[in-house]
Amino acid sequence: MKLYSIAVLLKTPEGKGKILASKTELASFGYFQRSTVAEFMTFTNKILVERTATSSRASVKEQEYICHVYVRSDNLSGVVIADHEYPQRVAHTLINKVLDEFSQKCPQQDWSKVREKYVTII
């Protein structure tokens, strides 16, 4: 059971996904694959948020990954990318917790001012 990425995004009024914070764990990939996998995850995070309706959740299979997304009514969104063994309920609970903590530490009026964050690879 592996968790590869978790990201907090803002669904802009234009419907685009803007990454506010993200973290990836790519140690299980080869050194030369990591940048490609990170780009794939960044792209997937944005596309999932753009294609998910406000106030809804989804779980999408993409290659050997399962991606869980939740777009809240205030357009703050969370995405978890994991393997197929990672439980869906746990992923959505994690997204809720991360979004709640993010909104407590960063007030809503500041979200649009935040510059897009690029992926941090560990």
- What is the CATH number for 69? 3.30.450.50
What span, in angstroms and rounded, lies between the C-alpha atoms of 74 and 88? Answer: 23
For residue range 69-114, list pLDDT tens digits in order. 999 999 999 999 999 999 999 999 999 999 999 999 888 887 777 6
What span, in angstroms and rounded, lies between the C-alpha atoms of 85 and 82? Answer: 8
Q: What is the pLDDT of residue 93?
A: 96
User: Does residue 121 lie within any of the structural domains?
Assistant: no
User: Does residue 30 lie within any of the structural domains?
Assistant: yes
Overall domain count for the chain: 1
User: Does residue 96 lie within any of the structural domains?
Assistant: yes
Asked if residue 120 has pLDDT above 80, the reply is no
- Evaluated on CA atoms 98, 23, 118, 39, the torsion sign reads negative
Asked if residue 122 has pLDDT above 50, the reply is no
Asked if residue 118 has pLDDT above 80, the reply is no
User: Does residue 24 lie within any of the structural domains?
Assistant: yes
Higher pLDDT, 58 or 118: 58
Strand order in the sheet with 76-82: 17-24, 3-11, 76-82, 65-71, 56-62
For residue 97, with 0-12 CB atoms within 10 Å meaning exposed, 13-18 middle and 19 or more buried, which class applies? exposed
pTM, 2 dp:
0.87
Asked if residue 116 has pLDDT above 80, the reply is no
For residue range 24-74, list pLDDT tens digits in order. 988 888 989 888 888 989 999 999 999 999 999 999 998 888 999 999 999
User: Does residue 118 lie within any of the structural domains?
Assistant: no
User: Does residue 89 lie within any of the structural domains?
Assistant: yes
Instruction: Residue 97: name the closest of 6, 11, 15 by CA.
Output: 6
What span, in angstroms and rounded, lies between the C-alpha atoms of 77 and 55? Answer: 9
User: Does residue 54 lie within any of the structural domains?
Assistant: yes
And the tokens for 114?
Answer: 């935040």
The secondary structure element, H or E, covering residue 99 is helix 88-105
Domain that holds residue 28: 3-111
Q: What is the pLDDT of residue 109?
A: 81
User: Does residue 122 lie within any of the structural domains?
Assistant: no
